[in-house]
Amino acid sequence: GLFLGISLLLSHLFRMQFGMYQQVQERANTDQRTGLYNHTYFEQILDVQLQQARNTGKPLSLAMVDIDDFKKYNDHFGHLKGDRLLGLMGQILKEESETAGISASRYGGEEFSLLMPGYDTQQALEFINRLRKRINDTPYEGVEIFPHGCLSFSAGISGYKPDIHDKSLLVDQADQALY
């Protein structure tokens, strides 16, 4: 009886410890403002996805997304409202990405990355255009200060090619396409 009681107690403690470990790991990989993966985790999964694309020959695309006129919004309404706008963008990106098998991350500031395994650049463009429509049609307080009167973003897409040997090249190409 004593052995069984100790075994049950140890089992329960192990489950609790494992649950706490998972929570800490999730927090370490998540951006607090947006709920998306953070930049560090993006770098890790980019390495994994690039290796898989090399090994399997399946397409891989990367999109960099930047909220248009975010500084103007932040300057006009303040950082708290700007943070809420980042949170909204994160929520939409997360919803749209999870259903499409895409990893969405906050790259920095108001810039986001979308890692798209299995997507060639044409499929990535189609996803970005659907995302653009959703963002444009999302009502949000203060959008009247934007040039088009709605939320919008700029995006650049890069596709994996066998001559890409370093992840920074894929990121640089997407970043160049963004601008």
Contact between 108 and 114 under an 8 Å Cβ cutoff? The reply is no
Q: How far from 146 is each of 3, 4, 162, CA to CA, in Å?
A: 68, 66, 40
Query: Catalytic residue at 126?
Result: no
Which of helix, strand or coil describes residue 108? Answer: strand
Q: What angle in degrees, to the nearest 10, is found between the helix axes of 167-178 and 39-56?
A: 110
Written as one letter, the residue type at 135 is I
Cα dihedral sign, 52-54-58-62: positive
Closest CA to 117 of 55, 28, 172: 55
Phi, psi at 146, each rounded to 5°: -75, 150
Which residue among 98, 110, 126, 144 is the active-site one? Answer: 110
Catalytic residues: 110
